[in-house]
Amino acid sequence: IKIMTVPTKPVEGQKTGTSGLRKKVKVFMQENYLANWIQALFNSLPPEDFKNGLLALGGDGRYFNREASQIIIKIAAGNGVGKILVGREGIMSTPALSAVIRKRKANGGFIMSASHNPGGPDYDWGIKFNYSSGQPAPEYITDKIYGNTLSISEIKMADIPDVDLSRLGVTQYGNFSVEVIDPVSDYLELMESVFDFELIKSLVSRSDFRFAFDAMHAVTGAYAKPIFVDKLGADPGSIANGVPLEDFGHGHPDPNLTYAKDLVDVMYSENAPDFGAASDGDGDRNMILGRRFFITPSDSVAIIAANAQAAIPYFQSGPKGLARSMPTSGALDRVADKLKLPFFEVPTGWKFFGNLMDAGKLSVCGEESFGTGSDHIREKDGIWAVLAWLSIISYRNKDKKIGEKLISVADVAKEHWETYGRNFFSRYDYEECESEGANQMIGYLRELVSKSKAEEKYGNYVLQFADDFTYTDPVDGSIASKQGIRFVFTDGSRIIFRLSGTGSAGATVRIYVEQFEPDVSRHDMDAQMALKPLIELALSVSKLKEFTGREKPTVIT
Ligand code: VG1
Ligand code: CO
């Protein structure tokens, strides 16, 4: 094939955040913007990692993915990649891409998604690169890519026609080929090896159990019917918004209490189903709801970990270890303690779990941001989390006759709190603040931390320590610093402050608060009530209103 060399100039601001490069789609549509980043990536990888190699490509179906697919394919071919596997119509969820990389022993892959950020001509686009074990590229690679975006001068592009991504099969172009694959089959095969589908089916197909899944017009729309309906016997009407759309039907595909409001309304209605779940743009997040009951993501990972061995065949010899991101509540810590499992606390972002999994130290992990997963792949996995919960509920009800009262999602959570205590948790997000004020606030907090002393009084709380979280990877020794400011009090309560690394405009301030409650008689309290004093403390310690001018958060989880 003929390779063209296209001259180009560096563009500012191509530094990746918590998970890939995310910008307004208009930014990505500027001439060579995406092409520069893709070429910078090939300039950063050792040639043996892609020359004549195999890469995968998928995305969440958002606006601009079609054009982007063709750009990526041509640059991959131009740089000597041997073959690229593409999900039909460019569709493949983040967890499915991770599964495909692993199963087909690819060198890596691209995901075209800005995840939970809205899509469409006026909204966001994004790109992530995952490495050979299916994990998000570590920082030493993304830093190198960024460095190369600053000095790039030419792009190598293969002179081939646009590839028809609607038909399955291989197209050969000289020594380069493209294979369009079904985005579901490898992933479904993996799910069937992890879970007992017969067990789950025995619950989902019951006449006295009602299931609801909201795909939010995002990528899990492509997975929900084949998995929940065709394989597990759910009613076809149980899938809402099940067709992926370029603008997610004008929605904000973030499965939380604010943006997945339709599902929340259904699950809190008079005649609510027994089980509700939603997933985000690229299918790696999940929200789990019972009838009029919300499972916080921090509790979700703890409950899955506690029940994994009994309910999920993949974990039949017990999880190897557990981990959570720093701001995620300590509910999981208590499970690790009780089950005597190795436990790790990592910075925000799934890329920090991969090394632990590759080293065989970690099986089940999660983040408070609706991310839950395990070492079956190297990404968080929304559908996996739903199947994990369905497994737990199926297992607990497997001997129940029709008409007998079933053990519910809420029953499982309350029982868990009785055993382990309840970690009340909430996150306040202040989206699109002015960057200047937000940065000043973080600077101010860093200064407070540097002057803080143990035993200091903060209202009714006594400080144990305050710091800006630093993580040393136990496997490769790499250090990640400035990962979030935390105030930890002597009763285990915490307040944490971070700036988001996934936004596309301004700065998003995140405040996380947590308090442990061992007293069962207080477990039914509303989290906002239980946490009120801590939330007030967080607002006054940070002077958030003064620095950002914000009275109220945009999203409360
Ligand atoms: C957010 C979440 C983080 C998650 C990341 C990517 O990052 O807080 O836990 O890993 O999004 O998720 P930040 O930097 O905005 O807080 V996804 O579904 O967008 O790949
Ligand atoms: Co996502």
Share of the chain above pLDDT 90, in %: 92
* Model confidence at 504: pLDDT above 80: no
* Model confidence at 503: pLDDT above 90: no
What pLDDT does 223 receive? 97
Question: How confident is the model over 127-183, as pLDDT tens digits?
Answer: 999 999 999 998 889 999 999 999 999 999 999 999 999 999 999 999 999 999 999
Short-list 491, 467, 463, 464, CA closest to 481: 467
Mutate to test the pocket of ligand 1, among 18, 135, 509 (most ligand atoms within 8 A of CB): 18
Structure tokens that stand for 153 in this block: 């001068």
CA of 281 to the centre of ligand 2 (A): 6
Q: pTM of the prediction?
A: 0.94
Dihedral angle computed from the Cα positions of residues 256, 313, 390 and 528, in that order, rounded to the nearest 10 degrees: -40
CA–CA gap between residue 376 and residue 368 (Å, rounded) = 20
Rg (CA), the chain: 23
CA of 112 to the centre of ligand 2 (A): 11
Question: How confident is the model over 63-122, as pLDDT tens digits?
Answer: 999 999 999 999 999 999 999 999 999 999 999 999 999 999 999 999 999 999 999 999
- Ligand approaching nearest to the C-alpha of 369: 1
Short-list 535, 537, 541, CA closest to 553: 535
CA–CA gap between residue 20 and residue 505 (Å, rounded) = 15
What pLDDT does 3 receive? 96
What value does the mean pLDDT take over residues 396-421? 95
What pLDDT does 505 receive? 74
Structure tokens that stand for 515 in this block: 């308090």
115 is catalytic: yes
Q: Where are the alpha helices (DSSP H) in 403-469?
A: 409-420, 435-451
What pLDDT does 25 receive? 95
Average pLDDT, the chain: 95
What pLDDT does 506 receive? 81
Short-list 60, 62, 61, 67, CA closest to 38: 67
H or E, element range at 224: helix 221-224
What pLDDT does 88 receive? 96
Measuring from atom 8 of ligand 1, which residue has the nearest CA? 369
Q: Which of 115, 325, 369, 504 is catalytic?
A: 115
Burial class (CB in 10 A: 0-12, 13-18, 19+), 158: buried
Handedness of CA 385, 389, 394, 396 (dihedral sign): positive
Is the complex ipTM higher than 0.95? yes
Question: For residue 117, is it left (φ>0), alpha (ψ between -120 and 50) or beta?
Answer: beta
- Ligand approaching nearest to the C-alpha of 368: 1
Q: How far is CA 385 from CA 12, 129, 134, 195, 225, in A?
A: 38, 23, 18, 11, 16
* Model confidence at 466: pLDDT above 90: yes
What pLDDT does 459 receive? 87
What value does the mean pLDDT take over residues 287-296? 97
Q: How confident is the model at residue 557 (pLDDT cuts 50, 70, 90)?
A: confident
Measuring from atom 13 of ligand 1, which residue has the nearest CA? 500
Q: Is 427 in the pocket of ligand 1 (CB under 6 A)?
A: no
Least confident of 426-430, 464-468, 498-502, 538-542: 498-502
Structure tokens that stand for 402 in this block: 């029709």
* Model confidence at 16: pLDDT above 90: no
Mutate to test the pocket of ligand 1, among 287, 502, 512, 554 (most ligand atoms within 8 A of CB): 502
Q: How confident is the model at residue 40 (pLDDT cuts 50, 70, 90)?
A: very high
What pLDDT does 286 receive? 97
Q: Is 555 in the pocket of ligand 1 (CB under 6 A)?
A: no
Measuring from atom 19 of ligand 1, which residue has the nearest CA? 115
What pLDDT does 373 receive? 98
- Ligand approaching nearest to the C-alpha of 218: 2
Q: Is 285 in the pocket of ligand 1 (CB under 6 A)?
A: yes
Q: Is 116 in the pocket of ligand 1 (CB under 6 A)?
A: yes
What pLDDT does 182 receive? 97
Q: How confident is the model at residue 214 (pLDDT cuts 50, 70, 90)?
A: very high
Pairing, β 364-367 against β 371-374:
antiparallel
What pLDDT does 97 receive? 98
Measuring from atom 4 of ligand 1, which residue has the nearest CA? 349
